Amino acid sequence: MNSRRIPHYGRMILTVGVALAGVLLVLIYREYRSVAEEIIQTPMAEHEALVRESYLWIGAGSLGALLMCLAIVWVLVQRQTNRIKDLRVQAEKLRDADFGEPLQEYPPDALGQLAAVFNDMRDRLKATTISRDYVDRILSGMNEAIIVTSTDGTIKRINRSTTILLGFDEKELVGTSIDYIVDKNKSGSLIDDSISGIPKEATFESKFGESIPVSYTCSIVEGEGGDSHDRIYAAQNITERRRAEQRIRYLARIDALTKVPNRMQFQHLLQRAIARARRAHQPLCLFYVDVDHFKEINDTFGHLAGDATLETVAERLSAALPDNSVIGRLAGDEFAVVVAGLGAEDEDRSETDRLARSLLDRLADPFFVQGHEVFMTASMGIAFYPKDAANVIDLIRNADAALYSSKKRGGNVYAYYKPQMNEAVVERLMTKSKLKRAFERDELLVHYQPKYNLETGEVFGAEALVRWELPDRGLILPSDFIPLAEETNLIIEIGEWVLDKVCEDFRYWQRSTSPGRVSVNFSLKQLRQPNFSARIGSILRSHEVSPTSLELEVTETTLMENPERTVKLLDQLYALGLHLAIDDFGTGYSSLSALQQFPISTLKIDKSFVRDVATNPDDATIVGTIVQMGRNLNLDVVAEGVENEDQLNVLQRLDCTYVQGLLFGDPMSADNYLELLLAQVEGTDSYRALFAG
């Protein structure tokens, strides 16, 4: 190393000094000898002068040599003093963390060796300091809060992020226990925490008492001898993450629209309720609620109204239920409620009856959406734990089966689960998937039910009724698959297929005779199609069937869903020349005068009134009134579901115009209907005698 070499001039001075002193001594010695020789050879008289001269020379020479030596000693002492001074200065610098320049190690005397040791110390200290500063910079640059503790959990160091996180200065924390910063209400002690690279969670408490959730790892610092076991806790603030998680958890569990638990969460809550009930040997009651015709509310008033309806359902259920009940939205318009303590026993049953009825009544209160008054009803299925099922899945499934049976009864009712209901649900699911394939497999067919003129007994026309023939099941009636088809868009396809088939059959019959007026049933979903009348028109044209030969049957409830819109549509259809009939009249809530706005020509009295017309005077009065009102409005009145002659006779008396029903046999194929028409022309038909009375 250059800096450690002795400077050039130092060596020169020393060498020249020593050389000069040597030369001087040699000169003195030689002078002394020559003086001595001279004294010997010179006469005695001159001796004294010579001796004096010699003394002078010797004295001056010795003095010179002495001075020279003194100068050398002074230089040497000066140098050593400087070296010691340098050592002191350097030591002071080191004390102040200034490494300065290395010291001279030459000459390799004791001071030189000391300087070498000192330099070495300086080098090592410099290296350590640099790496310590580096570590400090790393620590303070880290976003994680780093806390170093001793084995017993005493904090030894923290970094800047810890101060930022907790508000404590290093001075305030060093010497305290790691548990001093732990929120003891929310976290356990960290002192004996296991060493783990896998992040764990804890809650710290800041200087200001704020709880801070953290994710941290704990690792160990091995000492050189392996005996130090300092720990490093590296912690990260996870408040934001916790918040996001809570939000996600909330979203995952709570239905965003109605703010009640969603299916998953409801099942979880039901699970817990069942566990509690089991421990307490208590029953539970599950209500499965479904809004009737929700799709229609949605389609008629728009999605906002649909959303408002669902919110209303949730609010009303919450308001009407006992405190200990749990509500959930299981899907679309399906809600479920679990009420603890209600069982299947008799006294509980009347309590359940009361609650079920009051819920349905509450739901049926009309409400306003964007100025429209919306009428909504709901249906309900009820199942009990433990009587009907012992677990979540079965309990929900069974309540759903009971709900389905309420729906089948027309809605706005509740039903208790019975084991045979489940078979219907399984069946329903199977049917739905098979129905999609019914078209490809050519499994649909149309049967015709003749309508008779009550006065003459003549066949006046027929009603087309769709059937589904499944190879392994035989004929399936519309009531078993039309509601399913209505849940999807399949009903539109089915409806058009039926109309197409009717037109085809109509042309076939027309070749032999006059088929009369054939009526075809249409569902609400078909009517809702934007281009409905155009589609009907194009099917009729493609078969060259006159619209006046056909009648379109729409149920009373369908008509009244959105009267303004339906009026316009029916006007269009009427303009095409189609006849329009109101089907199942009496099952809805509309007054006859409300129906007057529609361009209808036929009123079909629902078979539920006809069934008891001969035995129940009330029903006879109702049917009589409908017939009279219909006649006054210039409508043809058809009584459906005539099964026996008693009914036929009463209807004749009540002045009804047309009848149809099983009294005249099952609905029949197109070929059989043609045979019937032909027999009538020939006067050989078998039923005419029935009308004679």
Q: Give the footprint of ligand C2E on this chain (CB under 6 A).
A: 449, 465-466, 477-479, 482, 495, 498, 521-523, 553, 583-584, 607, 640-643, 661-662, 667
Q: What angle do CA 641, 552, 576 make, to 5 degrees?
A: 160
User: Nearer Cβ to Mg ion, position 113 or 608?
Assistant: 608
Q: Which residues does 505 contact at the CB level (< 8 Å), separation at least 6? A: 446, 448, 670, 673
Q: Which of 584, 619, 636, 685 binds Mg ion (CB under 5 A)?
A: 584
CA distance 68 to 75: 10
Q: Is 551 in the site for Mg ion (CB under 5 A)?
A: no
CB of 610 to Mg ion, least distance (A): 10
Q: Is 636 in the site for Mg ion (CB under 5 A)?
A: no
Pick from 29, 31, 28: nearest CA to 50: 31
CB of 498 to ligand C2E, least distance (A): 4
User: Nearer Cβ to ligand C2E, position 379 or 660?
Assistant: 660
Q: Is 619 in the site for Mg ion (CB under 5 A)?
A: no
Angle between the 478-487 and 490-510 helix axes, to the nearest 10 degrees?
130
CA distance 451 to 677: 11
User: Nearer Cβ to Mg ion, position 145 or 466?
Assistant: 466
CB of 664 to Mg ion, least distance (A): 16
Interaction partner, residue 667 (Mg ion, ligand C2E, none; CB < 5-8 Å by kind)? ligand C2E
User: Nearer Cβ to ligand C2E, position 422 or 557?
Assistant: 557
CB of 270 to ligand C2E, least distance (A): 36
CB of 266 to Mg ion, least distance (A): 39
User: Nearer Cβ to Mg ion, position 255 or 640?
Assistant: 640
CB of 556 to ligand C2E, least distance (A): 11
Choices 2-10, 83-91, 412-420, 515-523; region in contact with Mg ion by CB under 5 A: 515-523
Choices 322-330, 341-349, 391-399, 552-560; region in contact with Mg ion by CB under 5 A: 552-560
CA distance 284 to 381: 14
Check whether the bond before 386 is cis (ω within 30° of 0). Answer: yes
Q: Is 553 in the site for Mg ion (CB under 5 A)?
A: yes
Interaction partner, residue 482 (ligand C2E, Mg ion, none; CB < 5-8 Å by kind)? ligand C2E
CB of 486 to ligand C2E, least distance (A): 8
Interaction partner, residue 502 (ligand C2E, Mg ion, none; CB < 5-8 Å by kind)? none
Q: Which of 105, 144, 292, 583 binds Mg ion (CB under 5 A)?
A: 583
CA distance 212 to 214: 6
Q: Is 521 in the site for Mg ion (CB under 5 A)?
A: yes
Please give the structure tokens belonging to residue 534. 């155009």
CA distance 603 to 631: 10
User: Nearer Cβ to ligand C2E, position 162 or 523?
Assistant: 523
Torsion region of 665: left, alpha or beta (phi above 0 gives left; psi -120 to 50 gives alpha)? left
CB of 452 to Mg ion, least distance (A): 16
Angle between the 419-438 and 392-408 helix axes, to the nearest 10 degrees?
70
CA distance 643 to 690: 12
Whether residue 335 contacts residue 293, with contact meaning beta carbons closer than 8 Å, is answered with no
Whether residue 263 contacts residue 328, with contact meaning beta carbons closer than 8 Å, is answered with yes
Report the chain's terminal Cα–Cα distance, integer Å.
140
Residues at the interface with Mg ion (CB under 5 A): 521, 553, 583-584, 640
